[in-house]
Amino acid sequence: MKRKKRSVFKKFLIVLLLALIVCGGFFYVKISNQVKQVMVWEDEVKKVAKEYQMEEYTDIILGIIFTESKGDHIDLMQSSESKFGARNQVTSSEESIQFGVEHLAEVVNEANAQKCDIWTAVQAYNFGSQYIYYIKDRGQKNTLELAETYSRDVLAPLLGNKTQETYPYKHPLAIIHNGGKLYRNGGNFFYAESVKWNTNLIKWFK
């Protein structure tokens, strides 16, 4: 009986290991292909970054593209709303990069002026520039906790969510942090952490 149980357990472990290998291989290929899609735009990103004296942030710009579109959308940097105040106004990927880098340069320059860290600027790319002044008064360094508080207590109520209503957000960072939730109308308070992770991911897969 003991041998039979050991045999069953051993088979279960083998099946589990094979399943993990298959899943791991699938995600590796998927992420690798997504990184390749993003890297198609590396030369264009470098060119536009140079126009705005943003060359040192090229890797972060690529990380933003990965976060926003995985390189598989006309509006690569989802810059339509920051430029026009509405979605789907950008007509080409080159235009998206132009407007996206312009917006990033604005928040980076303001964050530098307020002596805040680069991840404050990256979070402000999603939240808007007022977030920079919020962080300026709270240590000048972006944290997930501060981003969440701003999303819940400032941005969401400002845009009509006064009851802390949430909606599902099935990102691994979110699932680990709070079970996978964002505040409705509160932007994405995981944004800077996601871009940070994706910037490193691109470096690993390049």
Condensed to tens digits (0 to 9), the pLDDT of residues 164-173 reads 999 999 999 9
Domains, in order of start, for the chain: 2-205 (1.10.530.10)
pTM: 0.87
Please give the share of the chain, as a percent, with pLDDT higher than 70: 87
Q: Residue range 1-28: average pLDDT?
A: 62
In this predicted model, what pLDDT tens digit does every residue of 71-113 receive, in sequence order? 988 999 999 888 877 787 899 999 999 999 999 999 999 999 9
**Predicted local confidence at residue 13, as pLDDT:** 62
- DSSP labels, the chain: -HHHHHHHHHHHHHHHHHHHHHHHHHHHHHHHHHHHHHHTTHHHHHHHHHHTT-GGGHHHHHHHHHHHHTT-SSSTT--HHHHHSSSS---SHHHHHHHHHHHHHHHHHHHHHTT--HHHHHHHHHH-THHHHHHHTTTSS--HHHHHHHIIIIIHHHTT--S--EEE---HHHHHHHSSEEETTS--TTHHHHHHHHHHHHHHH-
Q: Which of 21-25, 35-39, 134-138 has the lowest mean pLDDT?
A: 21-25
pLDDT band at 14 (very low <50, low <70, confident <90, very high): low
pLDDT at 7: 65
Q: Is the pLDDT of residue 130 over 60?
A: yes
